[in-house]
Amino acid sequence: MAEVTLTIGDRRHNVTCRDGEEAQLRRLGDMLDQRWPSANRASGGLNAERTMLLVALMLADSLDAAENRPSGDGPSPAFLNRLADRLEGIADALEKPAASA
């Protein structure tokens, strides 16, 4: 297993993944980090958990829009389902406190 450190907002999260999936995990972490400032403003800066919920909702909205495109205009539903499963796994990992964080 490999370990990747993701920085989302101003917090660092150590997440394990299968060997070879580090680059993909970093890309997904970057997606979260890019949405963090907007979600943080929307949450009023109340807490990181609420902000992460808003980030997840933003990504879910994007995924929903992609799934509901007419066929031929985007990724296949199977690809999107795999992506959703990976995002859920990452969200689960981020919810667990890291030993070194």
DSSP per position, 33-67: HHHHHHHHHHTTT--HHHHHHHHHHHHHHHHHHHH
In whole numbers, what is the pLDDT of the chain averaged over residues? 84
Handedness of CA 67, 92, 95, 3 (dihedral sign): negative
Average pLDDT on 76-97 reads 76
pLDDT class for 70, splitting at 50, 70, 90? Answer: low
pLDDT over 60 at 99, yes or no: no
β-strand pairing of 2-8 with 11-17: antiparallel
pLDDT over 60 at 16, yes or no: yes
Query: What are the C-alpha distances in Å from 17 to residues 3, 56, 71?
Result: 6, 20, 32
